[in-house]
Amino acid sequence: MSIKLITETEHLVRDKMIPVPDVVIVGAGFAGSVVARELAQRADKTVLVIEKRRHIGGNAYDHLDAAGVLVHDYGPHIFHTESQRVFEYLSRYTSWRDYQHQVVANIHGRYIPVPFNLNSIELSFDHYKAQQLVTRLIETYGEGRKVPIIELRDQADPLLTELADYVYENVFLGYTKKQWGVTPEEVDPSVTARVPVLVGRDNRYFQDTWQGMPLNGYTALFEALLDHHNITVCTGTDARQLLRFETNGKTGEDGPFTNILFNDKPFNGEVIYTGALDQLCEHRFGILPYRSLDFEFKTLPVKHILPCGTVNYTVSEEYTRITEFTWLTGQDLDVTTIMEEYPCGYEALPGQIPYYAIINEENNRHYQRYLALFSELANFHVVGRLAEYRYYNMDHIVKRALELADELC
């Protein structure tokens, strides 16, 4: 069998060439595709997946470039999880290439492992100071702990504070300023906590039990997920052309929606929405704040140009990091493709992609105002990094999608 995929379908739906489904899903990323598969298979529902891009896979989409390198168009995606359920679930749709991601920071021309760990200390300080720091870290936190940079910085111990200041200046500050366009103090602690110092010698970027890359890439995984006789996928189709929301006489811009219309007819089936709520509401309360990214791809006539999958530029360059895809995919080629990442502001301009929600209390309230508009719609569900205005790794999204499907089945 193969996936039922049609492109630019607004007119087909309008002309009723596509039958009204039991379930409408907006977005063919992990959130939408997992719920689609589960409702199609477990609940025997007919599912229409509407995706505005011309491809499936959301931000995890990958494809072979002109040089034959499997590249990730929306930034490098490395799978890692502590959830056995998620790993076993995805393993139904892909085999895995064993891959343990490594990242180094280029600090004044030297490659230092990150997360900053005991090996990084020995590469960054003289022998005597490094030994002192290693001993003190182990005494204070115990081996294996991941200490968030903010916590380390608050220590009274001058030795640890010196280490914290070094890591803060050389690994964290420049990178975070580039990434968010702000100082680290202005960033939500849940984001800051993602940058730890590891009291150990494990140079892997992730320590999760299950890690790897889909053997034939993410797009092949999505093709397998969406390959079900109950699922139709419409790419190149913006859901806003087909879904409308009515307020049933409730007035005011905060008046909650009471009815969903699909192709101008009342729709009582489930709607799973994985896009941004502000976009769906035509930004009626203004744009939800995001950071965006520009990517620059370069193909070079060498086997490898970097020492590992990703190099972070924490004290120099305009880009935050460079990824070399052949490390991730394991492809043995005579050429290589790298990708530079340039963070930038987000103004919801055509073609601009909201990548990272800027999470703080004010922005959460802004999001909640949008969410409240949908509070009276029992058949409208939000799931995903955009719809929930959160940062989620892929495994978290798969887990949340499976839980939503459990509820709906």
Question: Judged by CB under 6 A, which stretch of 36-44, 223-231, 331-339, 384-392 contacts ligand FAD?
Answer: 384-392
Distance spanning both ends of the chain, measured CA to CA = 25
DSSP per position, 13-82 = HHTTSSPPPSEEEE--SHHHHHHHHHHHHHS---EEEE-SSSSSSGGG-EEE-TTS-EEETTS---EEES
- Give min distance, CB of 157 to ligand FAD, in A: 34
Q: Which residues contact 203 (CB under 8 A, 6 or more apart)?
A: 102, 113, 117, 119
What percent of the residues of the chain are helix, what percent strand, and what percent coil, each to the nearest 5?
A: 35, 25, 45
By the rule CB under 6 A, 381 interacts with ligand FAD = no
Strand partners, 43: none
- Give min distance, CB of 205 to ligand FAD, in A: 9
Residue 228 near residue 21, CB atoms below 8 Å: no
Nearer to ligand FAD, 29 or 217 (CB): 29
By the rule CB under 6 A, 354 interacts with ligand FAD = no
Residue 377 near residue 260, CB atoms below 8 Å: yes
By the rule CB under 6 A, 36 interacts with ligand FAD = no
Question: Judged by CB under 6 A, which stretch of 56-64, 184-192, 246-254, 362-370 contacts ligand FAD?
Answer: 56-64
CA distances 49 to 55, 77, 227, 234, Å, are 12, 23, 12, 6
By the rule CB under 6 A, 60 interacts with ligand FAD = yes
By the rule CB under 6 A, 355 interacts with ligand FAD = yes
Among 45, 77, 321, 381, binds ligand FAD (CB under 6 A): 77
Cβ-in-10-Å burial (0-12, 13-18, 19+) of 127 comes to exposed
Pairing of strands 290-300, 270-273: unpaired
Question: Judged by CB under 6 A, which stretch of 57-65, 104-112, 325-333, 364-372 contacts ligand FAD?
Answer: 57-65
By the rule CB under 6 A, 386 interacts with ligand FAD = yes
- Give min distance, CB of 173 to ligand FAD, in A: 20
By the rule CB under 6 A, 78 interacts with ligand FAD = yes
By the rule CB under 6 A, 339 interacts with ligand FAD = no
- Give min distance, CB of 316 to ligand FAD, in A: 21
Pairing of strands 259-262, 243-246: antiparallel
By the rule CB under 6 A, 21 interacts with ligand FAD = no
By the rule CB under 6 A, 327 interacts with ligand FAD = no
Three-state DSSP at 190 gives: helix
Size, binding site for ligand FAD by CB under 6 A? 33
Among 9, 13, 30, 308, binds ligand FAD (CB under 6 A): 30
By the rule CB under 6 A, 321 interacts with ligand FAD = no
- Give min distance, CB of 189 to ligand FAD, in A: 19
Among 21, 200, 212, 275, binds ligand FAD (CB under 6 A): 275
By the rule CB under 6 A, 58 interacts with ligand FAD = yes
294 sits in which H/E element:
strand 290-300
By the rule CB under 6 A, 106 interacts with ligand FAD = no
Q: Which residues contact 208 (CB under 8 A, 6 or more apart)?
A: 80, 81, 82
User: What part of residues 185-244 is at the interface with ligand FAD (CB under 6 A)?
Assistant: 238-240
Q: How far apart are CA 403 and CA 409, in angstroms?
A: 10
Specify the residue for token string 């930038």.
344
Q: Which residues bind ligand FAD (CB under 6 A)?
A: 26-32, 50-53, 58-60, 75-78, 238-240, 274-275, 293, 355, 384-386, 392-395, 397
